[in-house]
Every structure is written in structure tokens, then in C-alpha cells.
Structure 1
Amino acid sequence: MKSSKSETPLMRQYNQIKARYPGTVLLFRVGDFYETFADDAITISKELGITLTKRNNGGDQTPLAGFPHHSLDTYLPRLVKRGHRVAVCDQTEDPAEAKAAKKKIVDRDVTEVVTPGVTLNEKLLEHKQNNYAFAVHWSGSTAGVAFSDISTGEFALAQLDARELKSFLTLFAPAEILLSKKLKGNLPDGLDGYMLTYQEEWIFEHDYCYQLLLDHFQTHSLKGFGVEELTIAQVAAGALLHYIKENQKASLGHIRRIYAFENSHFMMLDASTKRNLELTASLQQGGTEGTLISILDETQTAMGARELRKWIMRPLKNLRDIRRRLDAVEALFKAHEIRNSLRDELEQIGDLERLISRISAGRANARDLTQLRLSLERILPVKMLLQKQESPLIVSLRDGLSGLIELQERIREAIVDDPPASLRDGGIIRESYSEELREIRDIARNGKRYIADIQKQLIQETGINSLKLGYNKVFGYYIEVTKVHQEKVPDTFIRKQTLVNAERYITPELKEIEEKVLSAEERMSTLEYELFNELRMQVSEYAEQIQQNAASIAAIDCLQSLAETAFLFNYVKPEVDDSTVIDIKGGRHPVVERSLPLGEPFIPNDIFLDTETEQLIIITGPNMAGKSIILRQTGLIVLMAQVGCFVPAQHARIGLVDKIFTRVGASDNLAAGESTFLVEMNEAANILNNATDKSLILLDEVGRGTSTFDGLSIAWSLAEYLHNQPSVAARTLFATHYHELNELESMYERVVNFNVQVKEHEGKVIFMRKLVKGGADHSYGIQVAGMAGLPKVVISRAQEILHNLEQHSLDITNKHGKLNELREGDEKLSSNGTASLPETGAAAAGTRKKAASSLSQKIPKQQPLPQFDLFGGAPDPQAEKIKEKLRQADLNTMTPINAMLFLVELKKEIGQL
């Protein structure tokens, strides 16, 4: 930066303002353009494709790029969507006034800082999604969190265990997160992938934050909001409020309350579960197509669409609240005609939340006020439609509606029916609203006629028939009287100019009229703007009542949307209770059934889970048979029931679920240096460490990312753990290709085998999509590979290899067969968490000790150990070492998995010889 002596006044002003807003792109208003300089110019040139030029700055050439001021709404959103914080600097005084005052430069200041998380710009907001800014503050192992959507006025805080932060953030998908600068370079876990904005450390001081909150809400404490004790979260809330105030430079009167968000009220869904169940974003495209919300969203208002997204991402855990929603949906489901009429009325209601936010912040135009009036006019018809509804939830929402008739009338009296978009263009206020405005408009429209009328009046008053009014640029309007009639000129006329044959006069009244005529257009525009702002401030006083209307309309819209979906797609009301049962008859996947080709039916399936009897279902079957769909549809049906939605089934009884966990698919995380298998194990560990006996676990393959025996061992051990550990004995669906896991059914009382039925015809597989009792013993992988189009020679060779493996796999299958005898024993759960093997009917032939003895006797007969006497020499010492290992092995104490691993280890050693 050049010294102040060499800088031009404009660049000096620019640099001073830029220094106050570090980390932003500063759009600097110069005449009819927004200009950027230096690094900012280079940035917007690259981001927006704008030509980069140079400007002389005291002898130096400074990079320059800009665009016309009327293109701000085009370019600003593009910059913010690319992750930039943008400061908009406008001229704060009239250039003509600055010139008259002989000032070298017009006053300028930043009027708004727009960031991804803090904006009221409609082009930056998704009308069906909230736009949250977050602030996070840590104290030991506790995280204080605050979040706000300034476009709706929502403002909340929460205090939680820092380990829960990652999952908490996924509930909201924040557009921006504020942190203290002291965390730079030492970022806590769970914040990867978000836009982070660092603030000065002093902003995160409790005393400052607490006082800022008190000042804003104009209270003596926060007790009235129920957040007085959440001291760590108060710091986050104060820091967030500070950031919003600094950026918006406007009134935040629409942020009228702060509430404590209770995460414990909602079912926990971690990031992988939300992703795998495709609740609001598709796994493939990332949009909403093919998601649960795309099926359930029959809302008619933007507020309802945003609320429904919240409901889906935050299923309820309180039985009373769930039943209230279900009863309300049922009432609207049955009232078909009322629902149709309700949908028509709701469709005409604008986005009340965002309308009142823009109005309160001073960023609304006349069309916004008209839209508000038209929306309020539909409130009473909605209320009347619900008048006979007896559902407690509907009654409560109906009672929260108010038409605000007085406000409607005030807006109707002031604003014309079809106002222009721009406030500066005029024509927004009705003439009848202001006598002064009516007079000015009359003058502006009929200026020449007005002057002619004044001339006639003066002729009548003076009796000078030749009197006329004229105008010149030197002294404006004048009265011209010929010298013949000078004696008739009244004393009130003031001589201004003498001509050869006439005199020119002015009067104070004429100067007043001149001022009105010449400045009528400007005065009319200014007066309309003043009247509009006065009305806007009056409307903003109703912010709380309008927000209450918005909340009630949003919930009503959600309820009718769920009822409409149930009607359209043949859903049923689920029975939700506090049992340990999940009993679904004829369950269907809500998304898949809607995406099938016309005429192709969806094959429904039954699922029964109970922690007391059938806690863990092992599902086997080939790829493409439908195992994953069955898992996902079970999770979605449970989630929908606790959202308060009817479900795609013939019957459903859902025992309350506190958490849903999914482990589906395989993908790596290269950015974090995590392999596919490590990602898989991270997800599995998360489940085992956080599941409870009230949870629902959906496992779609475990252990496939490593070797066969490693993977099988992990899958087996994980299944045993879920069965035997009371604290995590959750209702579980476990889809797998490891057919060996079918053995668990005979070993454990709450494990049940199912498979997805297929038929083989002339070497081809026909998928029946039906879940049936019993385990599968064949994966049909080669047949599926053939369906995928692999060359026939590859398929043929694969079949040969498979046949050879099946015929010559004594090292695996025979040993595994003998391990079945080990499973007939009776082994208790060891202290290190290994599985217990309860005695079953199959163990009647003998005890575990006899089975182990039988195995040790039969293995040498079926598969004699080689002597390894290469070239006729003496026995290999390593072979003797293997024999010694066999002699020392205590088969009586080995679990099935340990025995299998022991045999695999021997096989590897033999293979190395």
C-alpha cells in the first residue's frame, strides 16, 4: 500500500474502509459502478469472468475490475456461493450535495456484509431450506452451540458433549460456522468440510456475550427464555449475534426470542445414517430426486417445506408427541374435501417468515408488503376450514392463527394493488393515503396546466390582460408585465429584470409554486419513500404475531402434506408404543416403489424384530436380490412412524427407537488417509460404542473390505457382541454374503436366519425379491456377473475355478465342518467379551471336549501332514515345529473363531514351505 501522500483521495478512502473489513471482497460504489481494487479485483476477475484493468493511484497502477450497480443481484450471489464474504460499500450522501459543499469526495460506508450463513438476499436462499449460521465455543469436554437463520428470525442455543457435535451439526447442515481465532491450526474434530469463519478472541468472552444478548432482547436476564444456566452456549450465542449485527448493519427486530434446542427430544441420526437412508440428499446426484423428502413433500408453502425437512431430519422420541401428530394426520387423511380446500388456500400464502424478516431489517419493497397482506387474507379461511377438526394438535395450531385485520387494512390503504419493484421509482402509495402526496402528484402530472391556472388567477387579480408567466434558467419562473400596465402592478410583486418594453417580477408565492413544480418528481419520490418506511416500521411491530402465524401455517402444511402422501400412495397409520417390537407386515420402500417402471409391482416384505425373541436377523442372498432395499425400507418405515407419518405397509407396529444406525456400502476417504476398510470399521465402531438396546441397527455387509477370513471373523464377532452385550443388544438386521454366519442361529436364541428368495432356471438367476425363513447357501455371484455383461470366456473360467475350489477346499470346508462339532459344546462368555456357546439340541451327541478330541483324531486321517522331506532328505525342522504347535494346542478352550484362525495360521505356514 502506498503512503497517504501519494494516494488519490478515492483510494485513500477505499483503503481505510477495506482495512475495517479484512477477509472480505469489498464492492466499492463509484458512480454507477461497483469497483474492486488490487487483490479483490483479481479475485472477481477470475470468479466472475470480468475484464481486469488498471487504475492510476498516485502514479502507481492498481488492478481494477467492476460491474454496473444494477448488476449487483447477479454478481453478488455468485461470489457468495463460491465461499467469499462480500462487503457492499455504498455512497451515503448525494453527490450533488457533496459537490455543493465543495467536498473532494463523496461519503461512503459499508451497508451490508453478505456471507454464506448471514444473508437476506433471495437469490442466495433456497426457499425450501433454512440457511443456518453457527457459532461454537468449547469449555473442556462441553461444546456450546448457537445457530440462527436470520431470514426467518430463528435463534437458538444448545449445550452438549463435545463428542456429539459432529452428529449435531448434521441436523442443520450449517452454511457457515464461527470459531475463535485461537482455534486456527488446532481444529477440533467434526468440523471438516464446513465453511469456517474465525473471529477475534475477545468476542468469545462471556461477560460481553451475555450483555449483548440482554441488550438485544431488552431483558434483565435470560431466565424468561429458559437458557440462563447454559453459560457455555451463551458465549456462542453472543458471538453469533455480534457477527450478525456487524454484517447486516440493520435492525434485527425480527429476532425476538432465543430458545434452548433439546437434542434429547429427537431420535439420533448420525451422518452416515442420513446419507445411507437418503433422507434429503441422493447418494448419487446429491439433489433431492430419489430421496424420502421428494416423496413426502406435498407442502404448499415455503414455510411448510422447510418445516417438513426439519421433521424428517429430527424424528420424535416422545410417544405423546408422535401420537398427536399421527392423530392429526389421520384427521386430515379422512377429511378429503377439507384437505383439498386447505391445499388451495395454503398455496396462496407467501413466505411469511422471510417476508417479515426483510420488512424488519429494512430490506423489503412494496411488493413484499402487498404479498404479506394477501397472505394474511388467507389466514381466516384456513382457520375456518379447520373449525370442526377435533385433533388436539390441529386445535392448538388453529388457535395460533390470527388474520391481523387491522394490519391488512393499513397496508391496503397505503399500498397500490400492483406496486413497482423499486421504491425509488414512485407510484407505490395510494393518493388517498396522503393529502400532501396527492397535491405533489397533481403538480407533477399537470405542471403546465398548473402554471396556466396561476396566470389566469393573476390576470383576474390585477386586471392586466397581457400579463404572462415565463421561465428561464437564470431565475426560474417570472411574471412579465408590459410598461403600459406598470401602474397596475401590486406592491407584492418584486422587480427582478427590466426589459425595453416590459418588466419582470417574482413573488414569494410564485417561488413557492416554482419549487413545487420543478421538484415535484423528486419530492414525490422522496415523500413516497418516507411514507413507505413509516408503514414498514409499523408493520415490523407485528413481527412476533406474524411469526406465530408462520409457525402454525408451517405445521398445518406439514400435516396436510403427510395426509396427502398417505392418500396418494396407500400408506397406513402405524401403531407406535414403548415396546421392544418392530412388526411390519407388507412393508414397502417408499422411494423405490415410486421409481419402478409403470406396471412393475413392488414386492412387499414382512419384518419382525423383538429384543426378547428375534433380536438379530441374518439376511443372506445374492447381490441384486433386494437385501439392501429391505434394510433401508425398514429404517425408513421406523423413521417415518416417529416423524408422525403414515407408512408404506399393510400394518406396522413400531416400538420406540432412540437411534438408527446404518453401515452400508463401501467407500474410502482418501482426503483423511482412510481406506475403504478403515471407513467401514470406523462406522462399525461408532455403532458398537453408541447403540443402546432401544436402537435399530442396519448392517449391509461387514468385513468385505479385507481378506475373507479376517472379514468373516470380524462379522461373526460383531454379531455375537450385538447378541450377548445387554447394553447394545439392539434390534438388528444384518445382511451378509458370509453364509457361515447362518450357524449363529443354532448357537444363539435370539438370532434368526432369513434369505431373499431366488430361483435358478437354465443357468440364469430369477430374483423373487421375497424375504423367506432360512439361510441361503449360494451367492450366485457368477450368474450376476454374467448379467452384468462380462465376456462368456471369463464367466466360463470362473465357473471352472469355483468348481475346483469347492472340490479341493479341505483346508477350509472340512475344518469348518469339524468346527460345527465345536459349536455343540457349552462355553460361557469369557472376560474379554468373546462369545459364549450355549448348549443346543445338536449338542446331545457329546460334550465340547469329546468334539474337540474327535477333531484332533480325525484331521490327521483325512489330511495327513506332509513330511516335507524334499529330495529324500530328513524331515524339515519347520514341519516338526508345526507338529509341535498341534500337540500344544488346547482345543478344549478354543472358541470356533479362534479354532478357525488357528487352522488358517497353520495353512499359511504350510504354504510357505
Structure 2
Amino acid sequence: MTTPMMQQYHAAKAQHPGMLLLFRMGDFYETFGEDAEIAARVLGLTLTSRDKSMPMAGFPHPALENHLRKLLAAGLRVSICDQVEDPAQAKGLVRREVTRVVTPGTITEDEMLDPRRPNHLLAIVPSRQTVGVAWVELSTGFFFAADFPKSHAADEISRLHAAEALLAQSEFDRLDETLSRRLPRTLASRPDWTFDPETTKAALHSHFQVATMTGYGFHDDQACVIAAGALLIYLQETLKASLKHLRQLRPYRAETVLLLDETTRRSLELTRTLRDGQRDGSLLAVMDRTVTAMGARMLHDAILAPLTDRATIEARLDAVDECVREHTLRSELRELLEQVPDLQRLTSRVSTGRATPRDLTAVGRALRLLPRVKAKITSRKSPLLNELESQIELCPDLRELLDRALADEPPMNPRDGGVIRPGFHRGLDELRDLARNGKDWIARYQAAEITRTNIPSLKVGFNQVFGYYIEITNTHSTKVPPEYIRKQTLKNCERYITPELKEYEEKVLSAEEKSQALEVELFTEIRDAVAGQTARLLNTAEVLATIDFLTGLAELAATRNYVRPQLHDEPILELRDARHPVLDQTLPPGTFVPNDAILGPDVGHFWLITGPNMSGKSTFIRQVALLTLMAHLGSFVPAKAARVGITDRIFTRVGASDELSRGQSTFMVEMTEAANILNNASPRSLVILDEIGRGTSTYDGVSLAWAITEYLHDQIQCRALFATHYHELSQLADSLPRLRNYHVQVRELDHEVIFLHQIGPGSAAKSYGIHVAKLAGVPEMVLQRAGSILGTLETRHQLPTTPRPPVEPRPVPIDMPQPVVVSADPSATDGVTMPPERPRRRRAMPAGPSLFGGVDETGADAHNPQS
């Protein structure tokens, strides 16, 4: 038979299906059944049982916040059922209710959030042609929505890196696999009615007090608007609090940002490293010079979504430029901003009714700094800085209220007292005086009674059961006055009360209770007053974040000697003495070798880069991509000079690994990424390729690499850098007019190889694979045998050193490229031939002769160092 308490438990559990329920029982939070098994595993608790059948596990209630962090980190959603009445006053079973629901996407507490990155909750609504996506950052109030083409939706969802996602129950089984892989592990199944178009529209209209969403840039029937309404319904159910800080639903315009797919973001290590997934070592880590959490989050978002509108980028660059030149302005602004708390998250907690007294004092501290920040950016040359200055809301009335009302160092809990400053409220001051004087009276009363009774050990005490009492040891029992009323007998003493003592007790206790209740009431009124200014506070917080973002970029540029990039509408790219932004900081000073990169219609927009492993090919091409991205987010770049044509997308095909869970090999992943580039790149794109075709046989691989190079050059005509060990591809410079051969320079000295890490014209003479193997620690016997085999192969397949006649440029069809003809016949067309007698070579043999009899630009055999 189910006990009344377990009936309570099951009722609370049914209110929030799919959530782990923490059930308050006295001083512990308990879990039962499957929840207990999960909690025991995640939290390391001891699993016990109730009535030898029901598993249970619990922990002391003071450990709640610490355990909540662990549960959320494990991707769990948690509901908390508390005792909502005093057990001492309860008649029968203590009443319990779910007072709090905490999920990974609805956290607002600082101690559970990373202050430097957003914490997104998203909802998706797949449709025939698009995927409607809405996302909210509850701790800051940012609320966005957009309909993405199905081809881009997975990448956009991956960019958000949401903590939690919502999906209608009926869509679970129909969800596209590619899309499913991009969703967070906390994927909440929601009843279909919460995604009903009419229901979601009504929720949005009611929240924003509008008759249509047209004013926000949406149509009411858009899939993303349905997703936004579903998000709002979920937040109303879980938070049971005001959502006033969600002031508007903003349309996200994908066409205004430089698109970066998941492969590119991962390969370029924009926010996390490939090796360990950590922030340290990423572009974000080395660029971050912000001094506020708000500015750090803005930088994080800017790196993942750089701009493509030239005017907007130039406005940012103008502001950064002014801050670079005005050292005093920059340093004073940063000094002020260092003192600014996280006004965005503070305001959100105030709006949802979760703010503590210390949160309100932090808001007041931020408001006191605003006039000084505003004065620093008044009458500046940069239009953006002037615009930001005009948007700062000083809120003097609110600042005056907080300064006058709140104590300098209030407690976390308003019920602890000491929140309201003396002099703010007369009634509270009177109650405090009465309570304080009452306690003074008790002290005087005790001294007087000691004198009157001649009992030196007499003392006046207090406990929750009897209130105030007089305690007299048994030694002095004969001196007890007759008017004392015995109340309690202890081992060595007796406790008494007097009518006079009880009268003052009532006055003191009543004053303390009334004072406490009034202080909580006043705190709530002040918090509500701050919540009424949510819009102004969040506007100002966004301005402060932007100023921090800009001055952080300026600090980076000034301290690292970066240069302002010159933007152009033409698809060009010119980087002089450019440095890798991460390695330039992490390597010892002066050790990184700068390089130039010059691409454009007149000088060649396709660089084919050869050279040995470890020489810096991959570093160089990533460096070009990273500097292009930095220019688009409005940052100066590590170079002596930079001219950057506006880019619509950056694509990378860098390395590959098996994806066994998807049943895809290294080569399949490689080809999938290549197909994405070939199908989506445009003439304004930048394409970075680090090896193509290495996951299959040499002939297959080089043929694919050859054809892909031709397609990018002839059909897409984008800016591209291709690092490869296929030296045969260097022949393409004879037939592709805008392709240029470059190589990483190497010096051989006394049988040793020195990598110069310098990019120069022409193709590499060798791959130096055996030398790299030696550096890796391959046994000497293996190295000697490999050298012998290499010499045999080079001798057996020695090719003529005379250059072949250049191939005439071939006409390019408008719709499709000509196929590559791989033939054993030397008379085959298209300039691509393979010697019929040559044995197939393993792709791991880096220093063999050219399969195509290729020559470098000097006419020497590309693989014969003696020619």
C-alpha cells in the first residue's frame, strides 16, 4: 500500500515528467526508484532501499547547489519538491510542492554558468523546405529566431552549442540524422500541443502585447515563430516567474554574417581546441582581452558569426582604431569596465524574481559607474562610439533608490536581516530600535536581578521552546525569590520565568518578527522597482558589452602590434608578413616566421602549396583563414599590411578521422567535406584544403585532387589555398592561368634537413618523409631500409629532366567541368597521362617520382634533388 508521503511524491513526479525529482524530507533531499539509481551514479551517493523494494538515495539539503551543478552537467533536468510549511505547525503530513525547476537551458545562477559564454535553450520545428529555429539566452534576455534552409540548419544549430533543445514528440522519430547529431544531449520531448501554431501564436502575442509578430520582422505562420512560442510556453511552465526581460524576438539574418560550417569552426579551433576541446589554445582564448563577462560573451558570438556588411565592419574598425590610437581613453575605459558587474545576468535574475540583496547592490554599483563611462566616450571621432554614448541609460532615479535603500554589504538572504539601510524607512527603524532596546533591557534586567537576589551565577537565556528564562544553579536554590515561577528542571539547575520578563519577551520577539517581515517586504518592493527598469538596464548592459568588446580588440591590437585591415568589395586577399594569431602568442617571442599571402584575379586566386610534413603548410593556410575571419569581425590582424576582400563563407577541409558511429571511414568523411565545399562555395568564398584524396589509392587520390582543383579554379573561381603532398598537381599551373605553385622552403645541410617555415614560389623538390620519421623516433633500421627502397624507386623510375611542352588552356563548359582523363596512353588528351609500366605506389611513400612526369617551374624533375 502506498503511504501518504509517497502519494505526495508520485503527484509531484507526475507534474514534471522526464525530470529527476529531488524530494525534501526533513534535512535531506531524497530520490526514489530510477531517479535514485541515476542520482547515485552521477553524484556518487550510496544506493539504499525503502521497504526492501524501492531504491532510494539522498543527500543533506545544504549540498543542493553543488549537486545541482553535477546533475545539470550530466544533461539532466531537475525538479525540486520542498516542504512549504513548518513541520512543527503542520497538522498531519507536511505539505510539499515543486518550488523550482532547473534545466541546463534555464539556468540563471552565476555559480552554475560559464560567465564567458552564452547558455542557449533552443526549439526546432522542421518543415518541408526549412527548419524553424528559435533560441533564447535566459540569463541575458536575448531571444532570436530564423528559418534556415535544411542544408544549413545543422551548422547553424551547431554554432549555437545549446545546453538544451525542445522538440515536439511527434517529430522525434522523423528527425533528420544530420540535424539530430547537432542537437545537445539534453533533448526534451514536448507535447505536440505546445508546438501547435495557434497555441504558440497566442503565447507570443500575449507576452509581447501585440496582435501580430510582423512588427518584429516575422510572419505569424513561420516555423521559427512556432518554435519561439514553444520556447516561451516551456519557460512559463518551468520558471513560474516573470519573463519581462525577454523584450523582443529578434530575427537572425544569416545573410549578414560570414557563414562557417561545423567542420570549419572545428578545424580552425575558433572557440575550442581539437585535441582536448578546451578554450585554452583556441582563437577565442588568445583574442580575449575583455574585462567583463558581457564583453567576453559578445566576443565569443562575434567569432562564430563574423560580419559581411562592409559598412558595419568599417564602423567597428573605426572605433577600434580610435581606441588603439588613444591609449589614455582605452586604459581608462578598461579600468572602469573592470569594476562593472555582469549587468545582463543581474537584470535577468531581477526580472525573474531570483535576485538576492547582493544582486541589487551590484546593480547599484554598475549604475554609479555609468556617468564616468558615458563621459569618456562623449564627442569621439568614431560614429559607433558616439552612437554607444547616446544609448547609455544613466537611470539616476533607480541609482538614487538603490543607494538610499540598500546596506553596503547585505546578506544573501533577505530574511537574515540587515538588507535595508538605516534611515530609509521610519517604521523599520522603530522596530529595530525596539528589538535592540529590548535586548539591552534584558541585559540590564539580568544585572539588576543578580544584585537583588545576591546570586552571582544568575543568567537570563533564550530558547525556541520557552523563550526567555532565568537560570539558577542548585547551589543557590535557597535564594530564589518567591515571585519566580519554576518552568524547567535540569540536572544542576532550575529555570524560571517572571511576568515582567515575559512581557518584555513578547515586545522583543514581536519587534524582531515584524522587523524581519517588513524588511523582506521592502526588499521585494525595491526588486520590483528595479525589474520595472529592465528594458533600460538591458539596453545599457549591451552598450557596456560592446564598449568592452571594442576596447578589448584595441588592447589586443596595441599590445601585439596588429594592423588595421583594408576592406575591399573585390575578392582579393593580401597579407604581408602575416603571423598565426595563436602561435604568435604561444611560441617564444621572435620564433614564429611571418609569411605573405597574395591572392586575386590578377595575381592568381589559387595557391597550390607543397612541402614536407612539419614544415608549416597547414599552419600557413589556417593562418590565412583566421586572419580573414578576424578582419570580418572588426579586429586588427597580426601582419604588417592587410587587404581583405569581403568574403561570404570560409570553407576548410583539414584532416579527417573515422566516424565509426556513423559507419563512415576517413575517406568518406573527407569526400563528404569536399562535396560540401564544391556544392556550396561561391566566387566570394575562401577555401582552405589540407590534403585531398589521401585516404584512398594513389591513383584515385591524385585524380580526385586534380579534378577538384580544376573545378574550384574554373567553375567556382574562389580564393583557395591547397596544401598537398601530390607534387603531380604542380603541373596544373601550366593549364590553369590563375593557379600558382608555392612551397615551404627547406635547407639541407650535412645530411640534416632544416625547415625554414618560409613560403616561396615554385613546387617542393621532396617530401622528406624519412627525415620526419626520424624526428618521430622511428628505429634506425627502418629508416635505413626506407632510404634504400626510396633510392631504388627513384633510380628505377627516373624521369627525363627536360620540360614537357605547356598544355594549352582548355575551354571550360558553362555548366560542368570536363572530366579528368586518367589513361595509360601517353597520347591521351587533357595533358594527364600515367606511365603504363609504373607499379602502383603506396600513398605513404612520400618521396617517389612524379606519377605524371611533373616538373617544377625551373624545368627540373620535381622529385630529383640532383637535377
| TM-score band, normalised by shorter chain | 0.7 to 0.9
| Contact 1:742 1:775 (8 Å CA) reproduced | yes
Q: CA deviation at 1:443?
A: 2.6
The 1:825/1:648 distance shift into structure 2, 3 A limit, reads closer
Q: Could you tell me which of 73, 83, 92 is aligned with 2:75? A: 83
The residue aligned with 2:125 is: 137
Secondary structure at the residue paired with 2:54?
Answer: strand
| Contact 1:828 1:836 (8 Å CA) reproduced | no
| Contact 1:111 1:248 (8 Å CA) reproduced | no
Unaligned ranges ≥5, structure 1: 1-5, 456-468, 479-495, 497-503, 838-847, 853-884, 909-913
The residue aligned with 1:773 is: 761
The residue aligned with 1:165 is: 153
| Contact 1:724 1:835 (8 Å CA) reproduced | no
The 1:432/1:8 distance shift into structure 2, 3 A limit, reads same
The residue aligned with 1:44 is: 39
Q: CA deviation at 1:506?
A: 9.1
The 1:93/1:220 distance shift into structure 2, 3 A limit, reads farther
The 1:449/1:283 distance shift into structure 2, 3 A limit, reads closer
The 1:830/1:435 distance shift into structure 2, 3 A limit, reads closer
Structure 2 residue 647 is the aligned partner of structure 1 residue 657: yes
The 1:341/1:477 distance shift into structure 2, 3 A limit, reads closer
The one-letter amino acid of 1:161's match is P
Deviations 1:173-219 (A, max 9, x none): 11111111112233212221522211111111100000001111122
Max radius of gyration: which structure? 1
The residue aligned with 1:67 is: 59
The residue aligned with 2:493 is: none
| Contact 1:765 1:784 (8 Å CA) reproduced | no
CA distance in 2, matches of 1:803, 1:675: 33
CA distance in 2, matches of 1:801, 1:778: 15
The residue aligned with 2:449 is: none
Q: Could you tell me which of 653, 675, 679 is aligned with 1:689? A: 679
Written as runs of structure 1 = structure 2, the 5 A alignment for 1:605-624 is 605-624=595-614
The one-letter amino acid of 1:688's match is L
Secondary structure at the residue paired with 1:378?
Answer: helix
CA distance in 2, matches of 1:90, 1:49: 22
Written as runs of structure 1 = structure 2, the 5 A alignment for 1:473-622 is 515-598=506-589, 600-622=590-612
**Matched residue pairs, number?**
801
Written as runs of structure 1 = structure 2, the 5 A alignment for 1:347-496 is 347-447=338-438, 449=440
Secondary structure at the residue paired with 1:110?
Answer: strand
CA distance in 2, matches of 1:297, 1:907: 47
Q: Could you tell me which of 875, 881, 900 is aligned with 2:834? A: 900
CA distance in 2, matches of 1:36, 1:740: 66
CA distance in 2, matches of 1:563, 1:77: 36
Written as runs of structure 1 = structure 2, the 5 A alignment for 1:815-854 is 824=807, 827-829=810-812, 833-835=816-818
The residue aligned with 1:271 is: 262
Written as runs of structure 1 = structure 2, the 5 A alignment for 1:337-356 is 337-356=328-347
Secondary structure at the residue paired with 1:698?
Answer: strand
| Contact 1:41 1:64 (8 Å CA) reproduced | yes
The residue aligned with 1:482 is: none
The residue aligned with 1:54 is: 49
| Contact 2:797 2:838 (8 Å CA) reproduced | no
The residue aligned with 1:715 is: 705
| Contact 1:159 1:230 (8 Å CA) reproduced | no
Deviations 1:286-321 (A, max 9, x none): 111111111211101100000011111111100100
Q: Could you tell me which of 614, 629, 645 is aligned with 1:639? A: 629
Secondary structure at the residue paired with 2:604?
Answer: coil
**Which is further off, 694-703 or 241-250?**
241-250
The residue aligned with 1:95 is: 87
Q: Could you tell me which of 614, 620, 635 is aligned with 1:630? A: 620
Secondary structure at the residue paired with 1:157?
Answer: strand
Q: CA deviation at 1:148?
A: 0.2
Written as runs of structure 1 = structure 2, the 5 A alignment for 1:884-899 is 894-897=829-832, 899=833
Secondary structure at the residue paired with 1:772?
Answer: strand
The one-letter amino acid of 1:627's match is K
Q: CA deviation at 1:417?
A: 0.5
CA distance in 2, matches of 1:51, 1:171: 39
Q: CA deviation at 1:280?
A: 0.9
Deviations 1:825-883 (A, max 9, x none): 5644469844499xxxxxxxxxx9xxx9xxxxxxxxxxxxxxxxxxxxxxxxxxxxxxx
CA distance in 2, matches of 1:390, 1:198: 52
| Contact 1:720 1:835 (8 Å CA) reproduced | no
The one-letter amino acid of 1:192's match is R
**Which is further off, 81-90 or 42-51?**
42-51
The 1:31/1:784 distance shift into structure 2, 3 A limit, reads same
The residue aligned with 1:149 is: 137
Written as runs of structure 1 = structure 2, the 5 A alignment for 1:699-710 is 699-710=689-700
Q: CA deviation at 1:263?
A: 1.1
Structure 2 residue 728 is the aligned partner of structure 1 residue 740: yes
The one-letter amino acid of 2:654's match is V
CA distance in 1, matches of 2:246, 2:99: 19
TM-score, reference length from structure 1: 0.83
**Which is further off, 166-175 or 747-756?**
166-175
Secondary structure at the residue paired with 2:152?
Answer: helix
Q: CA deviation at 1:679?
A: 0.8
The residue aligned with 1:797 is: 785
The 1:825/1:152 distance shift into structure 2, 3 A limit, reads closer
Structure 2 residue 741 is the aligned partner of structure 1 residue 753: yes
Secondary structure at the residue paired with 1:671?
Answer: helix
The 1:563/1:199 distance shift into structure 2, 3 A limit, reads same
Written as runs of structure 1 = structure 2, the 5 A alignment for 1:226-305 is 226-229=217-220, 231-305=222-296
CA distance in 2, matches of 1:471, 1:582: 81
The one-letter amino acid of 1:86's match is V
The one-letter amino acid of 1:208's match is T
Q: Could you tell me which of 309, 312, 329 is aligned with 1:318? A: 309
The one-letter amino acid of 2:633's match is V
CA distance in 2, matches of 1:400, 1:471: 56
CA distance in 2, matches of 1:523, 1:246: 34
| Contact 1:763 1:783 (8 Å CA) reproduced | no
The one-letter amino acid of 1:131's match is N
The 1:901/1:658 distance shift into structure 2, 3 A limit, reads farther
**Which is further off, 412-421 or 223-232?**
223-232
CA distance in 2, matches of 1:768, 1:732: 23
The residue aligned with 1:763 is: 751
**Which is further off, 446-455 or 425-434?**
446-455
The one-letter amino acid of 1:325's match is R
The 1:471/1:661 distance shift into structure 2, 3 A limit, reads closer
| Contact 1:585 1:607 (8 Å CA) reproduced | yes
The residue aligned with 1:872 is: none
The 1:476/1:563 distance shift into structure 2, 3 A limit, reads closer
TM-score, reference length from structure 2: 0.87
Q: CA deviation at 1:783?
A: 1.4
Q: Could you tell me which of 175, 192, 210 is aligned with 2:181? A: 192
| Contact 2:735 2:810 (8 Å CA) reproduced | no
Structure 2 residue 103 is the aligned partner of structure 1 residue 115: yes
The one-letter amino acid of 2:105's match is G
The one-letter amino acid of 2:752's match is K
